[in-house]
Structure 1
Amino acid sequence: MSNELRELRHARGWSQERLVREIETYANQHRLTVASRASLRVYVSEWENGRRPISHQYAKVLRSLFGVTDSELITGDTSGTGTVAADGYDDLINRIDSARNVSLTMVKTFMDQTELLRTIDRQMGAAGLVDQMTAHLATLEDALTFAVLPETRKPVALALAGASTLAAWQALDVGAVERAWRHYELGKRAAQEAEEPMYLAHATAEQAYVLCDAGRTALAIDLVRDARRTSHSKLSPRLSAWLHAAEAELCAKAGFQDDCRRALDHAESCLPEGTDDRDPDMLSIFLNSGHLARWRGNALALIGDEEAVSDLYDALEAADPTFIRATSGLRCDLAQAHIVRGEYDQAHEHLIQARLLANRTGSVRHRRRIEQITQQM
């Protein structure tokens, strides 16, 4: 059995010494007892070289630091948390009876838990939430697996669809791309069972970003367009605007300037007026004119439009300060826009701020983007 610690550390841009310090900091914050610094240096080296197994105590610390599951930290770990071993008919019937007792109040509790995890994620990042998110999904999957009748299954499936999509975006943020893809597939299946086309369209469109990050941008564009066309008549105006904006960003990354501008115009025409940013029919959607200005500026910067800067500064001024990860992305957008105008000093200042925020949230995805933009200077 081997581990992926070295790769995870490199993805974060940490030295072994930095990892030792992070372990000490985490232990102090959570009142845990760990080995001395000198011993930790030896442990890290031996863990990475396969000479020492990672104990349960340190695995928990490392999972939180890197935002990974056991199976992603330890290659060959098959102890999955979502597997249910039903031992005989008595145990099966007990589980079915328990699932039948899941009430609408309990479903609301599940959705409130998802909302809490969403709030923590946007303020502190996804890396420290992997254990909580894994347990939350396992509970929802358990409830759905043993629910029998549609009136019980559909509300649970809806809660699972929302939680899975959030978990997928968190996994993508920390660089766990296969986990992200699997969570999106789970979210799509749950949305289909819940007969909720809006949740299906959203999960499908977000999954396109996995393809884009993997270098399959044209396929990602096709996927977003398919999500929009398939559910067109059943989408809320805000979700329609979100899908058009996502299409615009992906078209910009592919260099399709006309398609990008056309999608941005459609997004603006669909977006409801006012300052509200939450869709009452789908709380995972955050989009108002300020958010769209950021999205527009990002897309225009990607296609080399010098006017992107004004949109992005408007978005920065209107940004919710609790959206830490989003602000890091906005700083990246501004750096990109300034590079287009040849304003490298300003770009450098925004990259410094973006890197600080990305380090604060543990975003591997943003760190990768920061390095890509830095290479353009």
Structure 2
Amino acid sequence: MYVSEWENSKRTISDRYAAILRKLLGVTDAELRDNVPTPAAPSADGYDELLSRIDAAGSVGESMVKVFNDQTELLRTMDRQMGAAGLVDQMAGHLAALEDALNFAVLPTARHPVALALAGASTLAAWQAIDSGAVERAWRHYELAKRAARDAEAPMYLAHAMAEQAYVLCEAGRPALGVDLVRDAQRTVGQSSSARLQAWLYAAEAEMCAYAGMPDDCRRALDAALDSIPPGVEDRDPDMLSIFLNESHLARWHGNVLALLGDVEAVTSLYGALEAMDPTFVRARAGLHTDLAHAHLTRAEYDDANTHLRQARLLASRTGSVRQRRRVDMLSARL
């Protein structure tokens, strides 16, 4: 009864129910209540307030930027372990604080570090929105990330945001357009890319090509990713903290793409990745079990596929991943 009354504006959503529904649906408070704040009436003379905000933004130094980046890192850790649904409001507040700091920063020395922090936070927020099924919000966050990366004069962050945005297109049923966007990201970063980001971009291209029905292009991109990845267990670059990628992560990605291609060898790669996987990547583990189910289905190994689907469904529910639950449901329909 409450749902009907909420939908027909006969009853307002209380704060108690709003807190429950935001976590359940993975939406912001404004999206839940479908309201737009009414701007305050301008004062007769707002220059004092404007200058106050400009001065505050100008005083954002290295220590404050570090606080912003530490907050992003904390939200990233919470996201991969617990999922995005319960972090929507925290993420929205974090982005608002960063945008506010950037909007009133005047000189490049003040703008660049804040813009870079905003670019990293926005791509995280966008990926969380994809995982929650909020695709329009994801698109807007990627647009914000791209603007921030351009402001920061950071081509690596720009390329990363562009390539991740391709996943929105792919989820919407336009993987070929996603291929074009990833390739444009590769051209955008050019020689400025680190080897790890280059490998990440090739792997993203391979996945888009697999969804677009371009197997030859997919395999070429996979080979390029494997050739580019730096050796060792380190998975992050000091200049590109927004991605996690090493040989183990790439093995998982490689298996995922092979499964999409219907390659029977995907199982071997995926089991190797499962054995080496960091247990704190809970949502990624849900995706890996889904990939294994897909690979076993390709080989008509239905009992094994069902085992992995049960595990994937459990982990997807634990993290509130709409995206992974959708994949699980699609594969379950094939059993």
How many pairs align? 333
Q: CA RMSD in A?
A: 1.5
Distance in 1, matches of 2:163 and 2:184, equals 9
- Unaligned 5+ segments in structure 1 are 1-41
Pair 1:59-2:29 in alignment: no
Q: Does the 8 A contact of 2:235 with 2:246 survive in 1?
A: yes
Distance in 2, matches of 1:194 and 1:145, equals 13
Distance in 1, matches of 2:200 and 2:256, equals 14
CA deviation digits over 1:299-321, x for unaligned, max 9? 11111110000000000001111
SS at match of 2:329: helix
Give the TM-score taking structure 1 as reference length: 0.86
Give 2:241's match in structure 1, choosing from 266, 273, 283: 283
Q: Does the 8 A contact of 2:156 with 2:189 survive in 1?
A: yes
Distance in 1, matches of 2:4 and 2:314, equals 27
Pair 1:250-2:179 in alignment: no
Q: Does the 8 A contact of 1:84 with 1:142 survive in 2?
A: no
How much has 1:85 moved relative to structure 2?
8.1
Amino acid at match of 1:346: D
Map of 2:136 onto structure 1: 178
Distance in 1, matches of 2:310 and 2:181, equals 34
| TM-aligned CA distance change 1:85 to 1:138, over 3 Å | farther
Pair 1:129-2:87 in alignment: yes
CA deviation digits over 1:21-66, x for unaligned, max 9? xxxxxxxxxxxxxxxxxxxxx4345334543221233223321232
Distance in 1, matches of 2:42 and 2:195, equals 44
Q: Does the 8 A contact of 1:66 with 1:128 survive in 2?
A: no
CA deviation digits over 1:58-103, x for unaligned, max 9? 223321232201232133x1029xx898751111111111111101
Map of 1:16 onto structure 2: none
CA deviation digits over 1:274-302, x for unaligned, max 9? 11111221111111111111111111111
Amino acid at match of 1:353: Q
Q: Does the 8 A contact of 2:29 with 2:89 survive in 1?
A: no
Amino acid at match of 1:43: Y
Map of 2:262 onto structure 1: 304
Q: Does the 8 A contact of 2:83 with 2:320 survive in 1?
A: yes
Pair 1:187-2:135 in alignment: no
Q: Does the 8 A contact of 2:76 with 2:124 survive in 1?
A: yes
Output aligned runs, 1:144-159, within 5 Å: 144-159=102-117
Map of 1:332 onto structure 2: 290
SS at match of 1:209: helix
| TM-aligned CA distance change 1:361 to 1:84, over 3 Å | farther
Distance in 1, matches of 2:272 and 2:322, equals 26
Q: Does the 8 A contact of 1:329 with 1:354 survive in 2?
A: yes
Q: Does the 8 A contact of 2:125 with 2:141 survive in 1?
A: yes
Output aligned runs, 1:254-265, within 5 Å: 254-265=212-223
Give 2:300's match in structure 1, choosing from 330, 339, 342: 342
CA deviation digits over 1:223-247, x for unaligned, max 9? 0011012212000000000000011
CA deviation digits over 1:316-368, x for unaligned, max 9? 00111110100000011000000110001100110100000000000111111
Q: Does the 8 A contact of 1:173 with 1:363 survive in 2?
A: yes
Q: Does the 8 A contact of 1:133 with 1:167 survive in 2?
A: yes
How much has 1:106 moved relative to structure 2?
0.4
| TM-aligned CA distance change 1:163 to 1:84, over 3 Å | farther
Map of 1:100 onto structure 2: 58
Map of 1:218 onto structure 2: 176
CA deviation digits over 1:107-135, x for unaligned, max 9? 01100100000000000000000111010
Distance in 1, matches of 2:112 and 2:279, equals 36
Distance in 2, matches of 1:294 and 1:134, equals 31
Distance in 2, matches of 1:150 and 1:102, equals 12
Give 2:272's match in structure 1, choosing from 289, 294, 314: 314
Map of 2:309 onto structure 1: 351
Q: Does the 8 A contact of 1:201 with 1:228 survive in 2?
A: yes
Amino acid at match of 1:294: R
Pair 1:46-2:9 in alignment: no
